[in-house]
Amino acid sequence: MFYHAMLIKYAEIAIKGKNRYVFEDALVREITRTLKPLEGEYTVKKESGRIFVFCPEEYDYEETVEALKRVFGIVEFCPVAVYADQGIEKLCEDAVSYMTEVHPGYSGSFKVITRRALKTYPVPSMEVNAEVGGAVLQAFPDAHVDVHEPELELHIEIRDKIYIYSQSIKGPGGMPIGTAGKAMVLLSGGIDSPVAAYMIAKRGVEIEAIYFHAPPYTSERAKQKVVDLAKIVARYCGRIRLHVVNFTDIQLYIYEKCPHEELTIIMRRYMMRLAEHFARKDDCQGLVTGESIGQVASQTMKSLAATNDVCTMPVYRPVIAFDKQEIVEMSWKIGTFDTSILPYEDCCTIFVAKHPVTKPNINVIRGSETKLAEKIDELMAEAIKTTEVIDIRG
Ligand code: ATP
Ligand code: MG
């Protein structure tokens, strides 16, 4: 079957009252952006409370479906066959030929649902339902009508042309990117933070990212892995500005001055401070991490509190209550898992103590940090100055 168009459905947006237009426009923009790299010219149009994607004369159906599955804000979408309006008899013929091609030999229950967007159409909806239903029954003698719980809904939408559809493909849901502000994701090479980035982006939040690397203790390949992960997430959210901070000197200095069992916590506090610096500079309204309660020593409630202590911006932790297995499953779904498990070193694992504190006392940690007074400001300024920003597009 050749599908001329896709009907885009977007429940959550529709209930947004006055904001509806803002959301629809954002969704049109996001769909347009996502389809742009594909072969051919797609037209995305708002038409009387609906969004349609009109496909080029020649296009790759599978690729188009895959692309639309990545656009946040789409709840579901329906491939539509479009026919010229040549009267009700021809409409019935077209509906039968649609059924023959899309559901050959159909023998289940069905219902015809007509929507007259073109109010001047001479035949009322109920009559179209009856006429088309009759024609389909004749062509498919084993099928039967069930108006309450049909297995198949045959939709006829009357516009300047006749739109016929019966299938629906699940979209990712959520809100279109650009409708909910901007956040800075602390993106490591692990499994959790790319999933966290995806989840926040799904709420319509534009994403920036920050990665702390520690050359020569962490390799160029470890950095490349984070770039690759950002690329995968950017397939959903469009563009990610990835900040790569050289964290080596700060880490070495903490290692030199502070108790080793507190290293991870103190290091994470400096990561947060630096992340917040760039977040403010770039107009982000929050930080995002892939932390999950109890996963490792630095993610007990007390450790999280100690890390959070230095933040003045809200810190969003979308996977906070997820089990590892649940996060893993999401990473399969979004396509980051295989990259996340590549075995490159992480700056956190290199300097970890054998017995890190699991119940840090915030005052003790603050006290330990005073030992850094001499050089830390200078090291922070240097880290900020040498930060590399990579513009990643999906
Ligand atoms: P992930 O799977 O996301 O790496 P993790 O289970 O390895 O998480 P930690 O290493 O304790 O957990 O890191 C917790 C969170 O801190 C990460 O999810 C990420 O948001 C942030 N983070 C850790 N290391 C880095 C890093 N090198 N650069 C940027 N963010 C980091
Ligand atoms: Mg990690």
Task: List the CATH number of the domain containing 166.
Answer: 3.30.2130.30
Do 149 and 248 share a structural domain? no
> What is the predicted pLDDT for the residue at 48?
72
Residue 200 Cβ inside 6 Å of ligand 1? The answer reads no
> What is the predicted pLDDT for the residue at 14?
56
Is residue 175 in a domain? no
Is residue 344 in a domain? yes
Residue 211 Cβ inside 6 Å of ligand 1? The answer reads yes
β-strand pairing of 239-246 with 152-158: unpaired
Q: Which of 116, 149, 170 is the last residue of a domain?
A: 170
Joined tokens for residue 8 = 């885009």
Do 270 and 153 share a structural domain? no
Residue 336 Cβ inside 6 Å of ligand 1? The answer reads no
Is residue 177 in a domain? no
Residue 193 Cβ inside 6 Å of ligand 1? The answer reads yes
Residue 128 Cβ inside 6 Å of ligand 1? The answer reads no
Q: Indicate if the pLDDT at residue 13 is higher than 60.
A: no
Report how far apart the first and last C-alpha atoms of the chain are (Å, whole number).
30
Query: How far, in Å, is the centroid of ligand 1 from the Cα of 289?
Result: 7
Tens digits of per-residue pLDDT, 349-385?
666 777 888 889 999 999 999 999 999 999 999 999 9
> What is the predicted pLDDT for the residue at 214?
93
Query: How far, in Å, is the centroid of ligand 2 from the Cα of 348?
Result: 7
Do 298 and 194 share a structural domain? yes
Residue 186 Cβ inside 6 Å of ligand 1? The answer reads yes
> What is the predicted pLDDT for the residue at 347?
62
CA distance 153 to 276: 51
Number of domains in the chain: 2
Q: Which of 185, 187, 192, 213 to mutate to test the pocket of ligand 1 (most atoms within 8 A of CB)?
A: 192
Do 147 and 9 share a structural domain? yes
Do 145 and 217 share a structural domain? no
- The pLDDT of 125-145, averaged and rounded, is 97
Do 196 and 339 share a structural domain? yes
Tens digits of per-residue pLDDT, 281-340?
999 999 999 999 987 777 899 999 999 999 999 999 999 999 999 999 999 999 999 999
Do 68 and 187 share a structural domain? no
pLDDT grade, residue 16 (50/70/90)?
A: low
Nearest to 46 by CA among 61, 66, 31: 31
**Amino acid symbol at 329:** E
Is residue 18 in a domain? yes
Q: Indicate if the pLDDT at residue 343 is higher than 90.
A: no
Q: How many H helices and E strands in the chain? A: 15, 15
CA distance 76 to 74: 6
> What is the predicted pLDDT for the residue at 18?
74
Q: Which domain holds residue 328?
A: 182-393
Do 141 and 110 share a structural domain? yes
Q: Which of 148, 170, 192 is the last residue of a domain?
A: 170
Torsion angle, CA of 69/71/77/80, rounded to 10 degrees? -90
Q: Which of 188, 243, 298 to mutate to test the pocket of ligand 1 (most atoms within 8 A of CB)?
A: 188
- Indicate the pTM of the whole model: 0.93
Tens digits of per-residue pLDDT, 218-266?
899 999 999 999 999 999 999 999 999 999 999 999 999 999 999 999 9
